[in-house]
Amino acid sequence: MNLNSLYLTGSLPISSISTDAGVPKCKKIEIACESHDQGWSSYPRDHGTYNNSWTWGEISIITPKKNNNLEVRLIEKEPITRYRVYTNKHAVDDWQTHNFEFLSHHPLVKSLQPGDIVGLWIRSCYPGWRNYIKRAEIKFYYTV
């Protein structure tokens, strides 16, 4: 792998804001970003398509760990379960807008607990392939 970088994180509120209804529960997660690959390749027949595109984004749950100073550290640098949220078009250097949502029945949303961190990972598969990001956001919808 050439690129495997944690780009953005977000989380549900910690249970200190829980209501009479209980601890906040995630109902939906939306991810939006603008990205593109390196803009060239040696495979002209695939340009502008998703065929043989080797740059993408994934999200995962990262379990935080507190040390003795109550400082939170991200301990899961290589999460086992990741979910793809976008793929860039092959050899296109124009910004592409990607929107993806995970609904309440998805395993990621079902397993998310208050205080868990969701991370957006920026990926590319081979040396020479680049994944450029202009902006990204993660939105959480939850009960209050």
pLDDT tens digits along 2-24? 788 999 999 877 755 545 556 77
Average pLDDT over residues 26-47: 96
Nearest to 140 by CA among 27, 34, 20: 27
The CATH number of residue 101's host domain is: 2.60.120
d(CA 121, CA 52): 19
d(CA 72, CA 121): 19
Average pLDDT over residues 56-84: 72
Q: Say what the pTM is.
A: 0.85
Check residue 86 and give its pLDDT: 98
The segment with the largest mean pLDDT, out of 25-29, 55-59, 67-71, is 55-59
Report the domain count for the chain.
1
Instruction: Please check the confidence at residue 74 and state whether its pLDDT lies above 90.
Output: no
> Looking up tokens 């994944």, which residue turns up?
131
Question: Which domain does 128 fall in, by range?
Answer: 3-142
